[in-house]
Structure 1
Amino acid sequence: VHGVPVYDTVREAVADHGPNAAVIAVPPRALRDAAFECIAYGIPLVVIVTERVPRMDAAQVVELAAREGVRVIGPNSMGLISPGKTKVGSVGGPAADTARSFVPGSTGIMSRSGGMTTEIASLLAQQGLGVSTAISIGGDPITGSSFASLLPLFEADPETEAVVTFSEPGGAMEAELVETIQKQGTGLRIVSFIAGNFMAEMPGVRFGHAGALVQRDEDSAAAKASLLRDAGVHVADALADIPALLRG
């Protein structure tokens, strides 16, 4: 189609091209089979755009990927980008918009929100800062990668000097990140922003997307911010504070 080869199966595509990444955008109930096929044929990176994947299906995909040594980003991910090098998925939008928002630099981004991945990159660009790699890790309750599992990749990247994380209420990713920092330490400056502090004033009202399920007090934005601060993470009270915190 328009000069791009199209295949009926992943097997055929792998045989002809040996891809090192796959992007999956299918209806939620078709996701498990599509992901299983990519994993079965040894594609090492699978980015799942599909959102609201049935939890059992998502859990099975994540479990199989871990067993087979495949990195999964998502579900509900916009993808990832290393500016000036590569882009997988739709993060940043059209090429011209992506080039304006994502400027090469030394700051990594990990965000639960696809849109905020670009928003943070754009904010950094406006302040003369750039991005090494930005990852929309996915907004569904069950995702293949987390802040904690991706942090070592940024640690190993000589082009990354700091990392920004964007969180929302719900889930335990921040607690896992804190545990990793406390056990292993980190040579990176980490700046975090957690959306949803206003939710404490509106009990019983649901906000956000599929991943924003607040089940315990520890899942609230305020509790996460306190936990991260205690671990030495620099927590921004507003998005606009992020560049200054990165500069120290």
Structure 2
Amino acid sequence: MTMAGYDIFDILVGRGDEKKPVIVQGITGSYGSTHTRLMKAYGTNIAAGVTPGKGGQSFEGIPVYNGMAEAVKATGAQISGIFVPAQFFLGAAMDALDAGIKLLVAIPEHVPIRDSIKVIEHAKSKGARMVGPNTAGVIVPEVMKVGIMPAQPFKRGNTVVFSRSGTLMYEVSYNLSNRGYGQRLCLGIGGDPINGTNLIEAFDLVRNRPDVDSVVVVGEIGGDAEEQLADYIIRTSFSKPVVAYIAGRAAPKEKRMGHAGAIVYGNYGSAESKVANYAKASVPVAKRPAEVPELLAQKMRR
């Protein structure tokens, strides 16, 4: 069980690899429609879409509703992918949670921090969880995906990848797949300073799962998420092999590098700080993505 009272794995695929229904919010927009096609082609069960004012229409055979209450009632879905622009995110997220959605995958970037905090608090009050915002989404390789990640890098297996960077999640997973380390789940933490599911909560999801034998965590400079995670690994005696990669080692201090969460002030949030803390937790840190499977192989042999 997780801090939110349920297991994201169970919400995504049940006890096996059930094709759980998914609702896409913003399905008729250019962004939502493009990724709906890709998710559906991957095998995801897109049961409905929601666009206010477009109720009664359909998108490539998928019924469209005006609001989430109608869509949830018709489909029984507990998963929603939000593809609306940032200024509409708060309303869309609240609509989903009030309708009974338990896993909210928040794709938009540039969501105001106050809006993210409101949604996270509301999700907790509803016994639900948000992934993101500013996330590539979640994928159970060869089963389903809710997000914007390409399909090609991911292969099914027993390693889990948690990543603050979308692009690097793809690259690291590609290197793992090529070396025979398929993935059971890949989850984008999100690049914002406030995350609906942080690294520690993500690790809690897999610590007792028998179908997960190792974890790869892809971090970035900025913030203290990796430092807190290292402390968690030590404090809770996390037993599964863990390997890390940190992006932005060469970035100049006090300059934001792409993500709102990737900024370093002095030594706070620096790559050196993160590597040092991971060393205390016996987590090796790759210098480049291609090294990740090599370090994982060494860790798995111990």
Is the TM-score greater than 0.5?
yes
Which structure exhibits the higher relative contact order, with contacts defined as CA atoms closer than 8 Å and separated by 6 or more residues? 1
Q: Separation in 2 of the partners of 1:148 and 1:11?
A: 32
Counterpart residue number, 1:116: 168
Q: Separation in 1 of the partners of 2:257 and 2:136?
A: 20
Pick from 196, 207, 221 the counterpart of residue 144 of structure 1. Answer: 196
Q: Deviations over 1:169-206 (max 9, x none)?
A: 1122112212321221112111011111112xx34543
Taking the TM superposition and a 5 Å limit, the aligned residue runs for 1:58-207 are 58-92=116-150, 98=151, 100-199=152-251, 202-207=252-257
The Cα of 1:69 is off from its aligned counterpart by 1.5
Secondary structure at the residue paired with 2:221? coil
The Cα of 1:87 is off from its aligned counterpart by 1.2
Q: Which runs of 4+ in 1 moved over 4 A?
A: none
Letter in 1 for 2:238: T
**Residue 214 and residue 234 in structure 1: after superposition, are their counterparts in 2 closer, same or farther (change >3 A)?**
same
Pick from 273, 298, 301 the counterpart of residue 223 of structure 1. Answer: 273
Q: Determine if the alignment matches structure 1 residue 232 to structure 2 residue 282.
A: yes
Equivalent residues of 2:223, 2:269 under 8 A apart: yes
Q: Determine if the alignment matches structure 1 residue 9 to structure 2 residue 9.
A: no
Q: Deviations over 1:110-167 (max 9, x none)?
A: 0011111111111111112211110011111111011100102122322211111111
The Cα of 1:33 is off from its aligned counterpart by 1.1
Identity, in percent, stands at 35
The Cα of 1:216 is off from its aligned counterpart by 5.0
Task: Count residues with an aligned counterpart.
Answer: 240
Counterpart residue number, 1:212: 262
Q: Separation in 1 of the partners of 2:266 and 2:145?
A: 36
Larger helix fraction of residues: 1
**How much is the aligned-residue C-alpha RMSD, in angstroms?**
1.4
Unpaired segments ≥5 residues, structure 2: 1-58
Equivalent residues of 1:91, 1:136 under 8 A apart: no
Q: Deviations over 1:9-28 (max 9, x none)?
A: 00000110011210011121
TM-score (norm 2): 0.76
Q: Separation in 1 of the partners of 2:62 and 2:270?
A: 46
Secondary structure at the residue paired with 2:160? strand
Letter in 2 for 1:71: R
Unpaired segments ≥5 residues, structure 1: 93-97
Equivalent residues of 1:124, 1:130 under 8 A apart: yes
